[in-house]
Structure 1
Amino acid sequence: MSFKTTRLLSGAIFLLLSSVLLIACDQAKNLPAAGNKQSKAQQNNISSEIEPIKRPEYNAAVINFYGFGPAKFGDNEESVRMSWGRPLNASKPAMGATCYILSIDPLPSNHQGIAFMLEDAKFVRYDVTDPTLVAPGNIVVGDTADKVMQAHANHIESQPHKYIEGGHILTVTPESPANARLIFEIDASNIVTTWRIGVIPQIYYVEGCS
């Protein structure tokens, strides 16, 4: 084989190898783009499958100005326990007092929940810090004071909070029963931190049974 022929073959082989390498590089460059498109498509599919968190709905048969579910204000402890249907832990009344609290047992780590107050062996009030429990007017912990005012217009009065600087108390007086009240505690950021329903005078016990 002549020297000229050898050079031609070498050149052809070099061109062939160069073409193969260029094709491989182009394919490698295209792979991440395709992967990104696939990842974005997968993310879009996952996002479309995730449903937004639904706001809890108010259940007037459970939470109302007459009590909690089947347990009516004035009922005994057994009635409250049956109405709640889950374990409740009873606090000990202070010396010479008859007021005590039934709280969730065990108490959630975030301390959000519901507590039932009894005095003279009668159910008189319940306090709520759980945002999944809805107060009359469709209000939950975390809502704004403005929403409370709109929901209970003409039936509400405001006064400064005894312990929270810049906070206030919103008291709702229902048309009936006359001795029941709904109270929302509002922080300095104008947000509902807790609410309670009960009868006079226990509904006004700022420190609970303390």
Structure 2
Amino acid sequence: MKSVTVRYGLLGLLLCSLAACQKADESSSGPVSGASPAAESAPVPAAEPAVTQAPPPVTEVTRFDGFGPARFGEAEESVRIAWGRPLEAAGSEDCRQLFAEPLATRAQGKGVSFMLVDGKFARYDIGTANYPAPGGAVVGDPMARVIEQHGTRVELQPHKYVEGAKTLIVTPEGGGDARLVFETSPDGTITRWRIGVPPAIFFVEGCS
């Protein structure tokens, strides 16, 4: 009877040993908790946004030798490319104007237009404060600002049609045939201005 008891005891110890070994194997093959962050895949850095080049400021658009990339003496196509938006043509082949605004707006002397004489770019007119003239004066400024900016290069004349108003003719600092012409109201406020080469720059009525 004693030998049977011993055998059962040995069998129990053997089964316990096998169970312990199986648990050890399962724990060693399972996932390791608290894994190092370095072992995980590193996040992909976000791509930097593309740098967009800013358009040139309007102070670089109005020039004594043209408008933007269009130069006086070039064909109509150059003007249309420089403006980049629709332009309505009026006039003849001898004197042709391209208007950016509808008739109702330009009839008030406002807006932007370009003049071509014999098919060549010769002048542009500005009747809005959106574009500063060379030197910085804009529509709505007092004419005193033009005189302050351009000094002795300004020639002051009475306006051809408006009593008490003035016309200011500015010669470019570097010389040349082009002229910058400002028109004012009787109280001396700039109402519009234009840049061009003779004879187009002196056509007070435009191509009319």
Same fold judged by TM-score > 0.5?
yes
Per-residue CA deviations over 1:22-55 (Å, capped at 9, x if unaligned) read xxxxxxxxxxxxxxxxxxxxxxxxxxxxxxxxxx
Whose radius of gyration is greater, 1 or 2?
2
The question of whether the paired residues in 2 share the 8 Å contact of 1:58 and 1:134 is answered with: no
Q: Residues 159 and 58 of structure 1: is their aligned pair in 2 closer, same or farther, counting only changes over 3 Å?
A: farther
- Between the aligned residues of both structures, percent identity stands at 49
Q: Which residue of 2 aligns with 1:189?
A: 187
Q: Which residue of 2 aligns with 1:158?
A: 156
The correspondence for 1:98, drawn from 94, 112, 115, is: 94
The correspondence for 1:137, drawn from 135, 138, 143, is: 135
How many residues get paired? 151
**Superposition RMSD in Å:** 1.9
Q: Give me the whole-angstrom Cα distance separating, in 2, the residues matched to 1:116 and 1:82.
A: 12
Deviates more, 1:196-205 or 1:171-180: 171-180
SS in 2 for 1:154: helix
Deviating beyond 4 angstroms after TM superposition, the runs of 4 or more aligned structure 1 residues are 105-111
Q: Give me the whole-angstrom Cα distance separating, in 2, the residues matched to 1:98 and 1:189.
A: 36
Structure 2 unaligned residues grouped into runs of 5+:
1-55
Q: Residues 105 and 145 of structure 1: is their aligned pair in 2 closer, same or farther, counting only changes over 3 Å?
A: closer
The question of whether the paired residues in 1 share the 8 Å contact of 2:59 and 2:131 is answered with: no
2:95 maps to a residue whose letter is C
Structure 1 unaligned residues grouped into runs of 5+:
1-56
SS in 1 for 2:137: coil
Quote the offset at 1:200 in angstroms: 1.3
Q: Residues 109 and 196 of structure 1: is their aligned pair in 2 closer, same or farther, counting only changes over 3 Å?
A: closer
The question of whether the paired residues in 2 share the 8 Å contact of 1:66 and 1:177 is answered with: no
Q: Which residue of 1 aligns with 2:30?
A: none
